[in-house]
Amino acid sequence: MNKYYTILIIGGITFGTAAIFIKLSNLTPGMIAFSRFFVAGLILSRGKLPLRRILKQWKVGALLAAHMILFVLSVYHTTVIDSTVLVSTSPLFSLVLAPLVGIGTTRREAIAGITAFLGVLIMNFPLNQGYLLGNILAILSALTVSLYTVLLSKTDNQDPLLLTSYVYIMSALFSFPIAILQGVGQVNLISVLSLLGLIMLPTLIGHTSVIYSSGHVKPQHIEVIGLLEPVVATILAYLIFSQAPTTLEVVGGAIIILSIIMIILK
């Protein structure tokens, strides 16, 4: 297993902390999305902020912002379970989209992607009926994050940290109007600490691992490894909120881990 897969696994683990920090925070979704990307972008920029190079990343920046915003909106219009499951269809979209830009999909990768999706379904079974608008928004969120990872694989990342900075700043710019519309929310010590946690772990480590590994790891692999998020979130929810996982959540999590092993082992 090369270093890029190791980095992605570490990043996937940190993704699992995002839901915990969001649950603890009282800031609005728009402010959370804007703040985490803007601050992380400034940190990684090392004072180098050429406007032309930042604007050059408008496509992936817009897709990352759209993914975050669509996911939040889907939660508002459907059940959390339906939204989470439908967003987790992203590996299936990657299997379809990657060949369109010249990235082939092997039978093993296809089986791993389908296995991962089945694991997510089992973790969230039984599904609630939900609502059509929210479900469509969740599917669009999965589509945008798949497009995001596919486009990243074709991006010149000679300096991956600077590239990450530019993508984050563009995402923050696209998120800013939503932050203005929704306002700030409740600013208190818990909200501030939660925002710092979001910036340090799932943003600076999690999303940065995706951008850093793009071009070296297939987008199909990135999407499957990213499904460590619901597994880690389930474990943390038990440790922090005493929310014991069900038998199906344990089985589904084991299946997701199996699919990741199928991807990283050659």
Mean pLDDT of the chain: 86
Count of other CB atoms within 10 angstroms of residue 240: 12
Q: Supply 37's token pair.
A: 């990307």
Taking residues 143-170, report their average pLDDT: 88
Q: Is the peptide bond before 160 cis (omega within 30 degrees of 0)?
A: no
| Residue 187 DSSP SS3 | coil
The pLDDT value given to residue 129: 59
**Better-predicted residue by pLDDT, 157 or 231:** 231
| pLDDT value at 58 more than 90 | yes
Specify the pLDDT at position 81.
60
One-letter amino acid of 166: Y
Residue 149 pLDDT > 70, yes or no?
yes
- Assigned token pair, 248: 């199906």
**Is residue 34 scored above 70 in pLDDT?**
yes
Q: How many residues does the chain have?
A: 266
Q: Where are the alpha helices (DSSP H) in the chain?
A: 3-15, 18-24, 29-45, 51-56, 58-77, 80-87, 90-97, 107-123, 132-152, 160-182, 189-198, 208-213, 219-225, 228-241, 247-264
Q: What is the mean pLDDT of residues 221-236?
A: 83
Question: Would you state the structure tokens that stand for residue 40, as one six-digit string?
Answer: 């992380």
Whether the predicted pLDDT of 180 surpasses 90: yes
The tokens for 73 are 């909106």
Predicted confidence (pLDDT) at residue 148 exceeds the cutoff of 90: yes
Q: What values do phi and psi take at 217, rounded to 5?
A: -130, 140
Residue 21 token pair: 């920090």
Task: Say if residues 227 and 119 touch (Cβ distance below 8 Å).
Answer: yes
Q: Domain tally for the chain? A: 1
71 vs 138: CA distance, rounded Å: 6
Q: Evaluate if residue 200 carries a pLDDT over 90.
A: yes
Beta bridge partners of 27: 185
Report the first-to-last Cα separation within the chain, whole angstroms: 8
Q: For residue 196, what are the domain limits?
A: 3-264
CB of 158 closer than 8 Å to CB of 41: no
